[in-house]
Amino acid sequence: MNIRNLYLYLFSFIGLLIAIFGAVQLVDLALNTFVFPDADTYGDYPRFPSEYAEDLSAAEQAEYEGRLAEFAEVEQRRNRQRQLSSSLSMLVVGIPLYLYHWRTITREKGKGDD
């Protein structure tokens, strides 16, 4: 086996691994979003310390809790978007890397058989 073939197989393997990791992340994102929606839900931030809680009215406490819930939803959506972006970028890089090198390998093997 020469250096060129080693290079082609190595980069074909690396491209395949990147594509697999990207696909795994996409499946993970889909499962977390649609099947297990609580899997990526984290607890609330700590409430106001007790010394400040006395100064808040019930309406202010309810508003604060509503803002916390809204913040948690926005942060969860951002995390999903980050994961989707990462997964898609792995697929966009990994699949062409794999396909180019693998096609080159098969083309060269076809020429060698003649």
Radius of gyration for the alpha carbons in the chain, expressed in angstroms and rounded: 25
Picking from 83, 86, 100, 82, the residue whose alpha carbon sits closest to that of residue 16 is 100
- What CA–CA distance (Å, rounded) separates 32 from 26? 10
- What CA–CA distance (Å, rounded) separates 69 from 45? 10
Residues 78-112: tens digit of each pLDDT:
888 888 988 999 999 999 999 999 999 999 988 87
pTM of the predicted structure, to 2 decimals? 0.70
